[in-house]
Amino acid sequence: MPKYESIADVPLEVRKRYFQIRYANKLMAIGRFYSRISLTIKERKKNRVLNDTIQTFKVGAERAKKKGNECTQVLMNIGLFYLIAEKDIQTVKIDALTHHDKWKRLLSLRVILLTIYEWDMGKASSKNLKDLLCRSSVDEALQKELFLALRLLRKSQGKAAKILHFERNSIIAHRDSDALLQLNTIQSLNEKKVWAAAAEFYESSAIFMQVFPKVMIQAGSAPGMFLFMLNAKTN
């Protein structure tokens, strides 16, 4: 191996690798710091809108419950069920991406993993949802869009659950009795794998959120509620 009198004599490629290894962690830390500031500012508006939307759905769900409109109740429950999961992910997302403490960063990522893994829209829906939508005079085409969006959501969640099954059981539920294996799994958690599952979940969520408000407008409108009550009395 050749010896060099100074670092200036070392070949350029070797020097580049040396500095990359030596300063990689510092550069990543600096990158996370500035990303944290940028994301905090960027996500502020989204957080405010999300909080307002959750409150609106809560009030709407309570009102629908008092009035006994089953269709609006189910739709409000579906919307609120989705928004709660969205809020959980949104709350820890910045920490999962940018927190300076690796353990806290990975813990936030594990919360996202668990939220996606356990999320099941079927629990919030109703077996007679189609009948409820028909009785509220929601267009057939719009119903098909909604059920397609729900299927895509369940499919992406099921895929994520399958991919993340080992991680969920080992480092979230702490079911593995081998503590050393747990620790190694936590410390080597594949962040790209979790974010990829989250990205696919968000893609299907975007489709759902495009159609869901349209269904709410039709089912929750005064004519829609009147028709629902009318159909309920005649059936």
pLDDT, tens only, 79-128: 889 889 889 999 999 998 888 898 999 889 888 888 888 888 878 887 88
Whether 129 shows a pLDDT value over 80: the answer reads yes
User: pTM (2 decimals)?
Assistant: 0.75
Range from 53-67, 132-146, 158-172, 200-214 carrying the lowest mean pLDDT: 158-172
Query: Which one has a higher pLDDT value, 29 or 7?
Result: 29
pLDDT attached to residue 224: 44
Identify the sign of the CA torsion 72, 78, 81, 84: negative
Q: Does residue 232 have a pLDDT over 60?
A: no
Please write the tens of the pLDDT for every residue from 11-42: 666 556 665 666 566 667 777 777 778 888 88
* pLDDT for 148: 92
Indicate the average pLDDT of the chain.
79
**Domain extents for the chain?**
43-234
Instruction: Find out whether 189 and 110 touch, Cβ atoms under 8 Å.
Output: yes
Distances (CA, A) of 92 to 5, 36, 140, 159: 50, 12, 38, 22
> What's phi and psi for 144, nearest 5 deg?
-60, -40
| Per-residue pLDDT, 181 | 83
Q: Identify residue 121 by its one-letter amino acid code.
A: M
The predicted structure's pLDDT at residue 92? 92
- Residues whose CB is less than 8 angstroms from the CB of residue 81 and which lie 6 or more positions away in sequence, other chains included: 121, 123, 124
- How many CB atoms lie under 10 A from the CB of residue 117? 21
Residues 100/29, Cβ–Cβ less than 8 Å: yes
∠ CA 125-219-223 to the nearest 5 degrees? 155
